[in-house]
Structure 1
Amino acid sequence: MTEAHVLTEVKDGIGWITLNRPAVLNALSAQMTDGLITATRELERDAAVRCVVIRGAGTHFMAGGDIKGFHKSLTQEREAHLANFEMRVVRAHQLIYQLRRMPKPVVASVQGAAAGFGLSLILACDLAMATDDSFFTLAYRHIGLSADGGATYFLPRIVGERRALEIALLGERFTAQKAHEIGILNWLVPKDKLADETLKLARKLADGPTFALAKAKQLIRTSFDNSWDEHSHREAELLPACAATEDHLEGLNAFLEKRPAAFKGR
């Protein structure tokens, strides 16, 4: 029986998604894409899940697409390969769409290589933590392709247009330190601390006022698409929605009573 290319676990309010092809550096396969679509859909709908973490099995996050598979398909079944190529990208983008609409915080926990779609996946997450020896490249240009997974949308919004063009057009490998410096990563940690620090971050997010965090995500995600006039109305609509929650009253009580708040996400 073939081992699942994606593993999913829910524990103490945290949904863990593990890319599970360590022998090939977790290269993206059709089965992995389908597994990620299913996992993100199920975690989105699971009320018990208050934070989602994406990580890679083994010593790497994701080394991009399955190059050997691409070559075999292109040389042996060229017409079918090209006919299905667009739908393969659309399928992968369904995953990105579900990640972006996820009302819960999504964290990328990264070690080793993050190339091609692996970098796209990190860019689509809300927050990213990586080991200080991890490395990155958009890579597509080396096999004569542009990019997918939303990289050309998210990258200029995170690092700026000129830096995004540098990363896409040259395809050079860059360090975790540079990724942190230009805003792709939020935190760098030693390799032996990644699991503990990821859990600590996920726990802090899962224990937070997740209804309010979802609204904050929604506002930030749409801010580049709206004028200030439009956006100010969205803020004026969503803040009162948060004010009506149990979490808001609990936060006020906890502040006045000088104790940690016990948020419930409603």
Structure 2
Amino acid sequence: MNNRLLNPAQAAGIHVQYQQGIAFINLDRPATRNSFDLSMGVALRDCVRSLVARPPRVVVLRSTGEHFMVGGDVRHFQTLLDESKAACAEELELLIDAVNEAVIGLTELPCPVLGLINGSVAGFGLSLALACDILVAAEDAQLLLAYGAIGATPDGGASWHLPRHLGLHRALAMALLHTKLDAHQAHALGLVVQVVPPAGLPAAGLAIATRLANGAAAAQAGVKRLLREGLQTDLTGTLEAEKAQFVALSSTDDFAEGVNAFCQRRSANFTATH
């Protein structure tokens, strides 16, 4: 095993910025269209670990350059295969373990995760986008699974998320026929909530992130947990979870502020953390 690749100090391609309670995760390998290698996968995993340890009010996942992400670094895979199939398989296992932890972390964060997608959103790029709670797309976004082109199958949770978003048969068609969705098709199917001109994507994302950051953090965490867990439980279990969550929130300062603001016909000023 090449331990050098696992050294977080060597990690590249992921940068985090903070602004008024919002954490911006930037995918930053534009020269490779933000394709993932092991170093970038470890960097993403470590970044998400730090956010899980200290959640911000909102996370925004975005990219540098003309493309969100085209998936794994296939040219690097070729280099590994030239060494040996075993070397390629070993590194792929490490890479997928790292990005899988990142995907789970994003879905389990108590705060909302907003994804801003543009250009090519392919392979693991699509899987990572689907791990976000809300997606906004630039008009030039193109969503594609792409795995079949290299004789592979989806990773990063795409085979879990896509059938739940699109239904089984649309998801199968996308996977088997390499069907590409443009931004407006993705919007019509409910994958993205808004489509904007490419130049307007940063401003649109910041507007939504700011709105979320001004929301009631504990309630947002409860909404996220209820809706995601509701995909895997029955109605009775969901009703019980909703009741427990509502009753627990009724004792928070944000609930009192929300009720008072409603009765006083003013905007609420939510200040509590998760």
Give the alignment's TM-score, normalised by structure 2: 0.93
Contact 1:208 1:265 in 2 (8 A): no
Amino acid at match of 2:51: L
Equivalent position SS for 1:225: coil
Partner of residue 184, structure 2: 177
Shift of 1:90: 2.1
Moved more, 245-254 or 80-89: 80-89
Partner Cα separation in structure 1 for residue 167 and residue 271 of structure 2: 37
Amino acid at match of 2:34: N
Q: How do 1:90-239 and structure 2 match up within 5 A?
A: 90-239=97-246
Shift of 1:93: 0.6
Amino acid at match of 2:22: I
Partner Cα separation in structure 2 for residue 200 and residue 19 of structure 1: 20
Amino acid at match of 1:189: V
Partner of residue 72, structure 1: 79
Amino acid at match of 1:33: G
Partner Cα separation in structure 2 for residue 254 and residue 45 of structure 1: 32
Q: State whether structure 2 residue 33 is matched by structure 1 residue 14.
A: no
Contact 1:44 1:104 in 2 (8 A): no
Partner Cα separation in structure 1 for residue 46 and residue 92 of structure 2: 21
Partner of residue 12, structure 2: 4
Shift of 1:2: 7.5
Equivalent position SS for 2:211: helix
Partner Cα separation in structure 2 for residue 87 and residue 42 of structure 1: 19
Q: How do 1:25-44 and structure 2 match up within 5 A?
A: 25-44=33-52
Partner Cα separation in structure 2 for residue 70 and residue 80 of structure 1: 10
1:259 to 263, 266, 272: 266
Contact 2:11 2:42 in 1 (8 A): no
Contact 2:11 2:40 in 1 (8 A): no
Shift of 1:8: 0.3
Amino acid at match of 1:233: E
Aligned length, in residue pairs: 265
Contact 1:110 1:128 in 2 (8 A): yes
Equivalent position SS for 1:7: strand
Moved more, 61-70 or 30-39: 30-39
Partner Cα separation in structure 2 for residue 6 and residue 255 of structure 1: 41
Shift of 1:58: 1.1
Point out 4+ residue stretches in structure 1 off by more than 6 angstroms.
none
Equivalent position SS for 1:65: coil
The alignment-based identity, stated in percent, is 35
Contact 1:15 1:53 in 2 (8 A): yes
Shift of 1:211: 0.5
Cα-Cα RMSD:
1.5
Partner Cα separation in structure 1 for residue 244 and residue 169 of structure 2: 35
Shift of 1:157: 0.5
Partner Cα separation in structure 2 for residue 62 and residue 73 of structure 1: 21
Shift of 1:36: 1.1
Residue by residue, what CA displacement relative to the aligned partner does 1:188-213 show, whole Å, maximum 9, x if unpaired?
01112111110000000011001001
Partner Cα separation in structure 1 for residue 268 and residue 53 of structure 2: 25
Give the unaligned 5+ runs of structure 1.
none
Moved more, 71-80 or 187-196: 71-80
Amino acid at match of 2:218: F
Moved more, 35-44 or 53-62: 35-44
